[in-house]
Amino acid sequence: MLRPQTLKEGRWIFLVLVIFMLAGWLASPWISAAFLALIIYTLAFFRDPERVAPADPDAVVAAADGVVADIGEIEEPEVLRASMRRVGIFLSVFDVHTNRAPVEGRVIYRQHHEGLCLDARSEHCSTKNEAMTWAFENPRATIVVRQLTGAIARRIVGWSNVGDELRKGERFGMIRFGSRTEVYLPLDATLLVKVGDRVVGGQSVIARLS
């Protein structure tokens, strides 16, 4: 499914590719065809399907599509400043890149951080890459989410603001091209995924709150 809000984030990319496709036709139909293939791929990248989140109020869903790259206990340094369990999700260039609220709740924190664009699989990307940190609060818990750029992803987009009330699985932003999304969970939450699992943003349950 293609959504106007999501496609809008790629408008300049589409414009450049169309210009090169038309210009390439003058040189060779093969060059034009190559740019047409890139346009089709880019349309696929900006797909944004509808998802139905589980109704269970204790369920925490993945904030992004991708593969669980790592899980570990870490000090969350920005919002709660407490030990939490971090679930890192790696998004390849073939994954849907819309980010979704892991729980129903109010956005209580949103902060952008300048940084590098290291490979999202690098052990240093979590602390050195450009990022945007979010926190979602409800009576059960506060869940922190970090959007991180990668070597290819160079733009983090936020569609929600502090004070917004979001449904579980509702879109709050996206990252353009390969990247990483981290979900910070309370230590007493029951983890339901392991490293290597593929998850679907807004739909796959990664943990249950106690």
pLDDT in tens, 24-66: 888 898 999 999 999 998 888 889 999 999 999 999 999 999 9
35-62 burial, b for 16+ CB within 10 Å, e for fewer?
bbebeeeeeebbebeebebeeeeebbbb
The whole-number pLDDT of residue 160 equals 98
* Ordered structural domains, the chain, with CATH: 4-45 (no CATH), 59-208 (2.70.70.10)
Of 83, 179, 204, 210, which one is the catalytic site residue?
179
Type of residue at 110: R
CB 148 within 8 A of CB 130: yes
Alpha-carbon Rg for the chain, nearest whole angstrom, is 18
Mean pLDDT of 3-13: 86
**Confidence grade of residue 170 (pLDDT, cut at 50, 70, 90):** very high
The whole-number pLDDT of residue 4 equals 87
Give the mean pLDDT of the chain.
92
Q: Is the pLDDT of residue 163 over 80?
A: yes
Indicate the pairing of strand 171-175 with strand 98-100.
antiparallel
CB 91 within 8 A of CB 97: yes
Total-model pTM: 0.89
Quote the CA–CA distance of 162 and 35 in Å, as a whole number. 40
179 part of the active site: yes
Q: Is the pLDDT of residue 10 over 90?
A: no
Type of residue at 127: T
Quote the CA–CA distance of 59 and 38 in Å, as a whole number. 38
The whole-number pLDDT of residue 128 equals 83
Indicate the pairing of strand 142-148 with strand 105-113.
unpaired
Q: Is the pLDDT of residue 104 over 70?
A: yes
Quote the CA–CA distance of 55 and 52 in Å, as a whole number. 9
**Confidence grade of residue 123 (pLDDT, cut at 50, 70, 90):** low
